[in-house]
């Protein structure tokens, strides 16, 4: 029952820190910045605890605010003249990743070279397993736009992977 | 490797990563610091409010004293004015009386001389 649900801040941090951090990391491409964004998101959650009605609402709220804060952080960095993903693209997608399979790491690094809106849609689709409708609600964007971003993002990512990972795949 | 299962590969590579060690601790510390800051800001605001109340109270007392002094001074001046007016009236009455006496004497003298 939604009425019985009592939000516990510490528990929410415990349960959702991985989701928030992963979303921030995949949007910003920087662990330090992702951690900063995650802390900001949880601080904002603390300020808005009274507005959180259910466990599902908490997840929706966290995803939405994380995507928004990560985008803001990227814009602030860009204004300051540092675009991390441009640096990554220049180094041929060779982002330093510590987890997962080598091919998966390379695909993840290529993800960072996608335009921001496409990256956001793909991260929510494949990390969080959201439907296009849920992505549209999370990003507060029209459904048609989200569907188009998903299709174009996937197509672009596939093309990049085919051209840049050919050498690697042959070696495998 | 063919890219037929590209979406599956993407899904695998985008699995959630564990949060960095200490993220939760830092969040909880930040929360505590914010609460303390809020508390100290609230007490500072209350102190500042008290100071303002004291200032307003002192100003009201000062204004009351100054107003009382002005009203008192005005009352004294008015009383003095009234006294001066009474003195002038008394002087006029005395003068008038003196004129009347003089007039009666002059009339008596005129009668005697006729």
**For the residues of B60-112, what is the DSSP string, one character each?**
HHHHHHHHHHHHHHHHHHHHHHHHHHHHHHHHHHHHHHHHHHHHHHHHHHHHH
A131-160 mean pLDDT: 95
Residue B50: other Cβ atoms inside 10 A: 10
Q: Indicate the length of chain A as a whole number.
A: 172
User: CA of A47: which chain B residue's CA is closest?
Assistant: B31
Closest CA to A84 of A106, A104, A111: A111
What percentage of chain B carries pLDDT values higher than 90? 63
The tokens for B107 are 């009339």
Q: How far is CA B106 from CA A155, B21, B25, B92, B101, in A?
A: 138, 127, 120, 21, 9
- Report whether pLDDT(B43) > 70: yes
Residue B73 CA to residue B67 CA, distance in Å, equals: 10
- Report whether pLDDT(A48) > 70: yes
Residue A34 CA to residue A27 CA, distance in Å, equals: 8
Residue A107 CA to residue A11 CA, distance in Å, equals: 33
Any idea what the CATH number is for the domain that residue A113 is in?
Answer: 1.10.10.10
Domain boundary among A58, A82, A106: A82
Chain center to CA of B64: 11
Asked whether residue A10 falls in the same domain as residue A49, the answer is: yes
Asked whether residue A26 falls in the same domain as residue A74, the answer is: yes
Name the residue among A19, A105, A107 with its Cβ closest to that of B10.
Answer: A107
Does some domain include residue A89? no
Residue A128: which pLDDT band, with cuts at 50, 70 and 90?
A: very high
Does some domain include residue A67? yes
The predicted pLDDT at position A3 comes to: 58
Name the residue among B3, B6, B27 with its Cβ closest to that of A39.
Answer: B27
Residue B48 CA to residue B66 CA, distance in Å, equals: 27
- Identify all chain B residues contacting A42, using CB atoms and an 8 Å cutoff: 27, 30-31
Closest CA to A165 of A87, A115, A106: A106
Residue B45: other Cβ atoms inside 10 A: 10
Mean of per-residue pLDDT scores for chain A: 85
A145-158 mean pLDDT: 94
Strand, helix or coil at A81? Answer: coil
A153-170 mean pLDDT: 79
Burial, A55: exposed, middle or buried (Cβ in 10 Å; 0-12, 13-18, 19+)?
middle
Asked whether residue A75 falls in the same domain as residue A123, the answer is: no
pLDDT digits (tens, 9 = 90+) for A65-121: 999 999 999 988 877 765 555 555 544 444 444 555 677 778 888 898 999 999 999
The tokens for B41 are 């800001």
Cβ–Cβ gap A126/B7 under 8 Å: yes
- Report whether pLDDT(A170) > 60: no
The tokens for B4 are 């037929």
B100-110 mean pLDDT: 91
Cβ–Cβ gap A21/B12 under 8 Å: no
Residue A151 C-alpha, separation from nearest chain B C-alpha, in angstroms: 12
- Domain count of chain A? 2
Domain boundary among A20, A53, A82: A82
Residue B35 CA to residue A40 CA, distance in Å, equals: 15
Q: Model ipTM? A: 0.76
Q: Check residue B15 and report its DSSP letter.
A: P
Report pTM.
0.67
Domain boundary among A25, A53, A82: A82
A25-41 mean pLDDT: 94
Residue A4: which pLDDT band, with cuts at 50, 70 and 90?
A: confident
Asked whether residue A111 falls in the same domain as residue A168, the answer is: yes
Name the residue among B14, B19, B34 with its Cβ closest to that of A127.
Answer: B14
Which residues 67-126 of A are in CB contact (within 8 Å) with B? 99-101, 103-105, 107-108, 111, 122-123, 126
Q: Which domain holds residue A118?
A: 94-172
pLDDT digits (tens, 9 = 90+) for B47-96: 889 899 999 999 999 999 999 999 999 999 999 999 999 999 999 999 99
Does some domain include residue A32? yes
Cβ–Cβ gap A46/B31 under 8 Å: yes
């Amino acid at each position: 029952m939604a009425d019985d649900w009592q939000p516990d801040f510490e528990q929410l941090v415990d349960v959702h820190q991985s989701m928030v951090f992963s979303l921030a990391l995949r949007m910003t491409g920087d662990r330090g910045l992702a951690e900063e964004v995650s802390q900001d998101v949880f601080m904002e959650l603390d300020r808005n605890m009274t507005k959180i009605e259910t466990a599902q609402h908490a997840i929706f709220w966290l995803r939405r605010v994380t995507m928004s804060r990560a985008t803001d952080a990227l814009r602030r960095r860009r204004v300051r003249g540092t675009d991390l993903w441009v640096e990554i693209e220049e180094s041929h997608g060779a982002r330093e990743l510590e987890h997962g399979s080598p091919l998966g790491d390379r695909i993840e690094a290529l993800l960072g070279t996608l335009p921001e809106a496409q990256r956001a849609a793909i991260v929510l689709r494949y990390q969080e397993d959201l439907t296009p409708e849920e992505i549209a609600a999370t990003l507060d964007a029209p459904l048609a736009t989200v569907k188009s971003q998903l299709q174009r993002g996937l197509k672009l990512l596939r093309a990049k992977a085919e051209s840049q990972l050919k050498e690697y795949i042959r070696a495998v | 490797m063919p890219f037929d299962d590209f979406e599956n590969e993407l899904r695998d590579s985008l699995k959630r990563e564990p949060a960095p060690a200490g993220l939760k601790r830092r969040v909880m510390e930040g929360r505590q610091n914010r609460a303390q800051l809020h508390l100290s800001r609230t007490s500072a605001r209350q102190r500042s409010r008290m100071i303002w109340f004291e200032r307003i109270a002192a100003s009201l007392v000062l204004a009351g004293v100054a107003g009382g002094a002005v009203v008192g001074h005005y009352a004294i001046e008015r009383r003095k004015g009234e006294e001066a007016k009474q003195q002038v009236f008394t002087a006029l009455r005395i003068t008038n009386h003196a004129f009347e006496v003089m007039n009666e004497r002059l009339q008596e003298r005129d009668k005697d001389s006729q």
